[in-house]
Amino acid sequence: MRALVKPTAGPGLEMTEVPDPKPGARDVVLRVLRTGICGTDLHIDGWDDWAAENITPPLVAGHEFVGEVVEIGAGVRQVAVGDLVSGEGHVVCGRCRNCLAGRRHLCPNTKGLGVHYDGAFAEYAVLPESNCWVHHQHIDHDVAAIFDPFGNAVHTALSFPVVGEDVLITGAGPIGLMAASVARHAGARHIVITDASEYRLDLARRIGVDLAMNIAEHDLTEVQERLDMTEGFDVGMEMCGQPVALRDMIANMAHGGHIAMLGLPSEGFGIDWSSVVLKMLTIKGIYGREMFETWYSMSVLLESGLDLSPVITHRFASDDYQKAFDTARQGQCGKIILDWTVE
C-alpha cells in the first residue's frame, strides 16, 4: 500500500510502498478515506528537537483520520466490517489505576498513533477496537477525519460551564476556532478570540465570535470596554502555548474565573501567581479527549446543528502531500484535509 513515511532521522516525509497492515486479535483494519494534518505532523516532517527525541524511524505518520472497516481480528466484538470509524489517536495501557477506573484520558502510559506506532497517512491503517468511534449517523468524511482535534476543542470548551458566560480564547488556530464554535453553540454570551494572523481572525469572524482581535495591535482591556464588560472574562481557553497569552488571560479574568489550558508551551515561564490566588482562579490542564465521553458530546453537537465546515479551508489529494504541508506551515489556512481515495 501507499504510505507517507518518515524514512530516516532527518527532515522530510516520503510517499512509498509498505506492507499492508495485519490486525491483531482485538484490532481492526481501516481503508483510510481522509486524514487531517496536525501540528505534530509538521514537527515530524521538519524533524525538530521534539521529533528527534520522540520519533523512531521508519514510521508511518498521521493520527487524524476516518476510514471504513475492511477487516477485524478474531476478538473484535463491537466493530464490524463496513463501519465508518474515526480513530482515537491515544493508545492507553488499560492496566493503570486511571484506566481501570474508566479515566483513560489520564493514563500515564499513553502512546500515540503516528508517533509511537504506525499511523494513518496510508491507504490502510490498523487500530485497536477500543480506539474506534463508530459513526452511526451520516457525517461528512472531512469532518469525521478531524474528530481528534475536534475532541481537543470540545474537551477544552466544555470543561467549565459557558452558558451565559463571557469567554476569552487565545489562539485562532483550528482547535481555537472549533472551541469558539462549540462555546457559541453551547450558549456563551460574549466570545472573544485573539491571534496575530488576520487570515485566522477572519475565519473566527465567519464562525460568529463577538470580537476577533489582533493581539499585536490591540490590548484586551480595550475589548472589555467595547463589550461593556465590568468584571473580566468568566472562562478562558488558552490554545496557543504563548507565555504572554496566559499572562494576559490571567490579568483579564473575573474573580472566580476558570481557565482551560490546552496550548503547550515550549519551555517553562513565570506567571503572576498572586493574581491566581487573589482572584481565586481555577486553571485546568487539557490533554486529548475524555475517552469516550468527549466523543459522545462531539457526535451530539454535530447532530444538533454545529457546523465545522468553515474551519476546513483546504483539501488535497494524498499525493499532493508536500503542497498540503507547505500550506499548513505557512499558516494561511484553517484545517487541511488529505483525501486518500484519489492520488
3-state class (DSSP) for residue 117: strand
Segment 49-69 shows an average pLDDT of 97
Q: Is 138 annotated as a binding residue?
A: no
CB atoms within 10 A of CB 244: 11
Nearest of 339, 298, 334 to residue 317 by alpha carbon: 339
CATH node for 153-285: 3.40.50.720
The neighbouring-strand residues paired with 125 are 30
Q: Please check if 320 is assigned to a binding site.
A: no
Residue 40 among the catalytic residues: yes
Question: 95-110, pLDDT tens digit by residue?
Answer: 999 999 999 999 999 9
Secondary element (H or E) of residue 181: helix 174-186
**Model confidence at 343: pLDDT above 80:** no
Residue 297 pLDDT:
97
Give the whole-angstrom CA distance, residue 162 versus residue 211: 17
List, for residues 242-252, the tens digit of each pLDDT value: 999 999 999 99
Q: Tell me if 84 is assigned to a ligand binding site.
A: no
Number of H helices, E strands in the chain: 12, 18
**Euclidean distance between the first and the last CA atom of the chain, given in angstroms as a whole number:** 12
pTM: 0.96
Angle, in degrees to the nearest 10, between helices 174-186 and 147-157: 50
CA separation for the pair 269, 246 (Å, rounded): 10
Give the pLDDT score at 225. Answer: 87
Q: Single out the catalytic residue among 8, 16, 35, 43.
A: 43
Q: What is the pLDDT of residue 342?
A: 85
Q: What is the DSSP letter of 113?
A: B
Contact 221, 253 (CB under 8 A): no
Contacts of 277 (CB under 8 A, 6+ apart): none
pLDDT of residue 191: 98
Q: Does 293 show up as a binding residue in the annotation? A: no
Q: Does 287 appear as a known binding residue?
A: yes
* Cα 103 from chain centroid (whole Å): 19
CA 324 vs. chain centroid, Å, equals 18
Quick: pLDDT tens for 158-173: 999 999 999 999 999 9
The answer to the question of whether 240 is labelled as a binding residue is: no
Q: Is 43 among the catalytic positions?
A: yes
CATH superfamily label, 2-146+308-339: Medium-chain alcohol dehydrogenases, catalytic domain (3.90.180.10)
3-state SS assignment for residue 151:
helix
Q: Is 107 annotated as a binding residue?
A: yes
Averaged pLDDT score across all residues of the chain: 97
Residues 96-117 as b or e (16 or more Cβ within 10 Å = b): bebbeeeebbbbeebeebbbeb
Q: What is the DSSP letter of 78?
A: S
> Annotated binding residue at 38?
yes
Residue type, 240: C
Q: Is 54 helix (H, G, I), strand (E, B) or coil?
A: helix
pLDDT band at 83 (very low <50, low <70, confident <90, very high): very high
pLDDT digits (tens, 9 = 90+) for 19-58: 999 999 999 999 999 999 999 999 999 999 999 999 999 9
- Cα separation, 341 vs 334, whole angstroms: 22
pLDDT greater than 80 at residue 59: yes
Per-residue pLDDT at 230 exceeds 90: no
> What sign for the dihedral angle of Cα 156, 304, 336, 52?
positive
212-229 average pLDDT score: 92
**Distance, CA of 55 to CA of 35 (rounded, Å):** 20
pLDDT value, residue 122: 98
* Catalytic option among 35, 40, 194, 294: 40
**Domain boundaries in the chain?**
2-146+308-339, 153-285
Q: What is the pLDDT of residue 319?
A: 97
Average pLDDT for residues 248-263, to the nearest whole number? 98
Q: Is 333 annotated as a binding residue?
A: no
pLDDT of residue 328: 97
| CA-based radius of gyration for the chain | 20
Residue 215 has pLDDT above 80, yes or no: yes
Instruction: Over range 269-290, report the average pLDDT.
Output: 97
Ligand-binding annotation for 262, yes or no, is yes
Share of the chain above pLDDT 90, in %: 97
Q: Does residue 14 have a known ligand-binding role?
A: no
